[in-house]
């Protein structure tokens, strides 16, 4: 229910906060979109893998005193190795199978991760010690949190580097060829299986970056993976399955909608606005924001 009309200053604050958060969402979704684009596998455990990285940030911060950003860099190769192991043991056997089988398998992986994290860390809220967690810039009446701004900038930088890698390197060309037509790519000499392994491991490794950004200003629980998986799936479907540009734009849009919904609807029903907008967008643009997504 609407509780009065918020002031223009409050709306502007919501837009700024939503855009900053949306940048982090975009990086999370881009890695999921790339996996789907190359392998046609929609990973329902994506948010849980991000959650593992967030717990890793907490452990390195509490026990070794590493800042969340430095801990994220340490975790990148660790998450990459874990992603490679997960691909070889779980994902590769179901490549080419029905979407239902893939969904059931990755949802099962999600449940296993949540149960394991609950047994190891318990159900408590965990966060990190960050030297600038409470720092903020004030521009007029708008408050910009330093951790959120840093996360936005880092996410944009990583997305830009990923785009440059895919368009300007030989490995990137092989990935794009595999995404467009695996059979033809194989005939042209591309090692499709190795490329798929590289992409999946790389996309899981990338999750350490948004995990570090998020843990500078939020907390993690064993149930966080459910929300993050749902959020990343919403963004990817909104942007168009397999469309990286659409995933980036979708992340920004979802971040804005979440923030504006909280400002406009000051009650527990606020998150429903995100799903209403998502449903409307899906009806009007079933192939994504730019009409380039897959129907698979």
Q: What is the pLDDT of residues 9-34, one digit of tens each?
A: 888 888 999 999 999 999 999 999 99
Give the CA distances from residue 75 to residues 117, 135, 142, 207, 243, in Å, rounded to whole numbers and listed in that order.
17, 25, 34, 9, 27
Is 136 part of any domain? yes
In a domain, 231, yes or no: yes
The DSSP bridge partners found for residue 143 are: 138
> Is it the case that residue 242 has pLDDT exceeding 70?
yes
pLDDT-derived band of residue 269, with 50, 70 and 90 as boundaries? low
Over the stretch 132-160, which tens digit does the pLDDT of each residue have?
777 888 887 788 989 999 999 999 999 99
- Does residue 274 surpass a pLDDT of 70? yes
Q: What number of CA atoms fall less than 13 Å from residue 120's CA on the CB side?
A: 14
Mean pLDDT of 166-175: 93
Residue 263 lies in a domain: no
- What confidence score (pLDDT) does residue 268 get? 67
Q: Is residue 281 part of a domain?
A: no
Residue 296 within a domain = no
pLDDT attached to residue 2 = 46
Take residue 114 and report the two structure tokens written for it.
């949540």
Rounded CA separation 162/243 (Å): 14
pLDDT (0 to 100) of residue 267 = 65
For 21, 34, 141, 199, the CA distances from 172, given in Å and listed in that order, are: 28, 12, 44, 10
Q: Is residue 98 part of a domain?
A: yes
CATH number, residue 33: 1.10.3470
Lookup result for tokens 């606005």: 273
Domain housing 44:
8-253
Helix/strand/coil for 220: strand
Has residue 282 been placed in a domain? Answer: no
Q: Above 90 in pLDDT, residue 282? A: no
Alpha helices in 207-270 (DSSP H): 208-214, 224-239, 244-264
| 227 falls within a domain | yes
Cα 177 to Cα 188: distance, rounded to the nearest angstrom: 9
Detail the DSSP E strand segments found in 18-63.
none
Q: What is the pLDDT of residue 272?
A: 77
Local confidence band at 194 (pLDDT 50, 70, 90 cut-offs): very high
Tally of domains in the chain: 1
């Amino acid at each position: 229910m609407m509780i009065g009309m918020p002031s223009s200053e409050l709306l502007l604050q919501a837009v700024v906060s939503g855009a900053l958060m949306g940048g982090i969402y975009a990086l999370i979704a881009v890695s999921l979109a790339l996996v789907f684009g190359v392998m046609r596998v929609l990973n329902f455990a994506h948010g849980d893998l991000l959650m593992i990285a967030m717990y890793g940030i907490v452990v390195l911060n509490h026990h070794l005193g590493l800042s969340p950003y430095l801990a994220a860099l340490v975790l990148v190769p660790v998450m990459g190795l874990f992603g490679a192991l997960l691909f070889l043991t779980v994902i590769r056997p179901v490549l080419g199978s029905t979407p239902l089988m893939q969904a059931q398998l990755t949802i099962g992986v999600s449940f296993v991760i949540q149960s394991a994290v609950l047994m190891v860390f318990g159900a408590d809220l965990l966060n990190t010690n960050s030297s600038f967690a409470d720092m903020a810039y004030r521009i007029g009446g708008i408050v910009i949190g330093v951790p959120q701004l840093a996360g936005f900038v880092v996410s944009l930088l990583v997305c830009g580097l990923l785009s440059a890698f895919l368009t300007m390197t030989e490995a990137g060309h092989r990935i794009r060829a595999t995404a467009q037509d695996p059979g033809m790519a194989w005939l042209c000499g591309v090692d499709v299986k190795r490329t798929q392994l590289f992409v999946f491991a790389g996309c899981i490794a990338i999750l350490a970056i948004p995990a570090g950004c998020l843990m500078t200003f939020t907390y993690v629980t064993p149930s966080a993976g459910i929300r993050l998986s749902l959020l990343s799936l919403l963004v990817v479907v909104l942007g168009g399955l397999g469309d990286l540009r659409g995933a980036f734009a979708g992340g920004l849009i979802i971040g804005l909608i979440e923030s504006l919904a909280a400002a406009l609807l000051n009650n527990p029903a606020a998150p429903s606005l995100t799903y209403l907008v998502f449903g409307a967008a899906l009806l009007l643009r079933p192939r994504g924001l730019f009409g380039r997504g897959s129907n698979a």
